[in-house]
Chain A
Amino acid sequence: MKENNKKAKVDLVSKADHSLLTCTGEWSLHSITDAAKKLKTAIRQVPDQSRIILDISSVSELDSAGTILLLQFINAAERSMNEIDIVGANKKHQIMFKMYKDQIHDKPTKKRIDNILTRLLIKTGKTTLSSLNEVILFVAFLGESVTALLFYIRHPSSIRFGAIAKNIEEAGIRALPIVALTSFLIGVVIAYQSAVQLEKFGANIFIVDMIGISVTRELAPLITAIVVAGRSGSSYTAQIGVMKLTEEIDAMKTMGFNPFRFLVLPRMIALMIAMPLMIFLADIMGIAGGMLISKLQLNLSFSEFIQRLQNVVDTKHLWVGLIKGPVFAWLIATVGCFRGFQVSYNTESIGRYTTISVVNAIFLVIASDAIFSIIFTELGI
């Protein structure tokens, strides 16, 4: 590291008719910080419209940073109507000055907005506008996917069955173990909590109604949707995002492959087919979890459980849960793909949009589930 005596230094001496600034030391990037501060105060100390002599004859080394610093000072001095003379510049110094002189002139550095209130207002405005813009973009995206879907319906031969099958395997079949395990555990948790309460009232048998209805109507669809959003929604965003970064999407467009038909719809349709099936598995596993705990905790045998299940739990509950499947799937796939297309040409944005995509998808799933609840209740289903 640099020793102290090599550091750039400035001395200001006020003479009768001028101020003399003597620069010494190494005026290079790593040793000019102090001199920069000193020059800033010097410009305030020197009276306006006076004469300044800048002596750089003992500057041992002068690099770009040093040169630019001196030029900044010279410009500032000239702005306050001083007459400034540079003495003692050797050949190397002159070359440096010449090189940077035209590049540094007048233009004052951009004003920073310091007022917190103003900054807050600006930020609020910008965020509002960009959120609004996003909503518009999302609606446009929905519109385009519907158009592509209509195209599919009019030209069934253009449906990409291969891609759909591949996506069903990727997003559906490969997700079965985790969906099964999660819903089994949820069944266990619910049964365990209810068992304790129901036992107090001696209403043991009602655990069947409780598990049967809550799992099929609400829990299985929600758990499946959350697992799928985390697994497939995020991967859709990342896949499409990377394709955008590597300009594959542009290549597809120029070759006449509509990205909606080739990328979005296969994923969307695949997920809409797979989701109800996954929910059905989740129903079975959730009930199985509940059944196991009922036996261990409440001594309710499997046959008793299943018999009661058949008697009291209407199949409509099952259908209510399954119907939600395609809707959740549609939301997850649309958000995942939409966010993927939003990835801009930098590496950071993939991570950002993947996160946003999952958060949005889970929110939309829960919000639409709430709407379903209201509708079904109003309809008396």
Chain B
Amino acid sequence: MTKIVVKMENIVTRFGENLVHDDVSLSVREGEIYGLLGGSGSGKSTLLREMIMLLKPDSGSVTVLDTDVLNLSAREAETIRIKWGVLFQSGALYTSLTIAENIGIGLKEYTDIPVELRDDIVRAKISMVGLPEYAAGLYPSELSGGMVKRASLARALAMDPSILFLDEPTSGLDPVGAEAFDKLILALRDSLGFTVVMVTHDLDSIWTIVDRFCVLGDRKVIAEGILDDVMQIDHPVIHNFFKGNRGAIRSKAQYGK
């Protein structure tokens, strides 16, 4: 069996009266592209934030790369944090730094490699995510939405992470841009071999690049597995998702039902 890199067990999350997760468990395998699905407000982003130590669940356990991330010393936390890259929903680039500085900041703070090597790594990452060379000297406010996503992907990849966390990477992109972005993530995963955990609403992404996924709804995990298996489950949320107007077209094309 392949190694499990992210494991969440019996997660309960509550914001005041609002119970968001009630006994949620899931596991992500090494090297796969794992999708977190669910309607708006179903707690996908919250779950992602719990994986990357931005939020503590009220109960349950979170294990990332064999480390229990809920009980870490500051030093251990720092060691594990540089093993993952995060792409936030809005990009979250540092607005007062250029794109090149944004990408290089992790390398600058956490390693002591020579400056020329750092510059070259930054340049390689910029071209790897498909940004033009001149983007290096621009500030985030001078980029288009798609370019911001690419730049923050480059920043997330700067340190060669073992896991890449993406929160709705294709939201806000046009369909062509979204497809290109999906392909880019797939190609990078194939060559660099990292694991991807992505929050998404985008049916196209689920069909084209996601290997396995889970569907959140009613505060629980309704289904987890590969597309074919999840499609078999009879549940209103899954029904709405895959057999609603937009989903139906795809389902028909793929499954002839």
Contacts and interface: CB of A to CB of B under 8 A. Distances in A.
Interface of A: 28-30, 32-33, 36-37, 40, 63-65, 68-69, 71-72, 95-96, 99-100, 102-104, 107, 109-110, 344-349
A100 B191 CA distance: 11
B113 A33 contact: yes
Given A68-B124, A100-B124, A345 B160 contact: no
Interface string B183-201: 0000000011000000000
Interface of B: 95-96, 107, 110-114, 116-117, 119-121, 123-125, 127-128, 139-141, 157, 159-160, 191-192
B107 A29 contact: yes
B139 A345 contact: yes
Contacts of A68: 117, 120-121, 124
A260 B88 CA distance: 36
Nearest to A63: B160
A349 B96 contact: yes
A44 B155 CA distance: 33
Nearest to B96: A348
B117 A69 contact: yes
Nearest to B139: A346
Given A37-B114, A99-B128, A347 B191 contact: no
A109 B96 CA distance: 23
A103 B126 CA distance: 9
Contact of B95 (A30, A63, A109, A346): A346
Contacts of A110: 119
A104 B107 CA distance: 18
Nearest to A108: B116
Main secondary structure of the interface of B (DSSP, over half): helix
Nearest to B116: A109
B117 A65 contact: yes
29 contacts: A29-B111, A29-B159, A32-B117, A33-B112, A33-B113, A36-B114, A37-B114, A40-B114, A64-B157, A65-B113, A65-B160, A68-B117, A69-B113, A69-B117, A72-B116, A72-B117, A72-B120, A99-B128, A99-B191, A100-B128, A102-B127, A109-B116, A109-B120, A345-B140, A345-B141, A346-B96, A346-B140, A347-B95, A348-B96
Contact of A346 (B125, B141, B159): B141
Contacts of B117: 32, 36, 65, 68-69, 72
Given A103-B124, A103-B128, 7 more contacts: A29-B159, A32-B113, A71-B120, A72-B116, A100-B128, A345-B139, A347-B95
A347 B97 CA distance: 10
A1 B201 CA distance: 39
A103 B123 contact: yes
B18 to A, nearest CB: 27
A97 to B, nearest CB: 11
A33 B114 contact: yes
Nearest to B119: A109
Nearest to A75: B120
A64 B113 contact: no
Contacts of B191: 95-96, 99
A36 B117 CA distance: 8
A65 B121 contact: yes
B96 A347 contact: yes
Contact of A64 (B116, B141, B160): B160
Contacts of A65: 107, 111, 113, 117, 121, 160
Given A36-B113, A347-B95, A29 B160 contact: yes
A202 B123 CA distance: 80
A344 B124 CA distance: 29
Contacts of A64: 121, 124-125, 157, 160, 192
Contacts of A63: 160
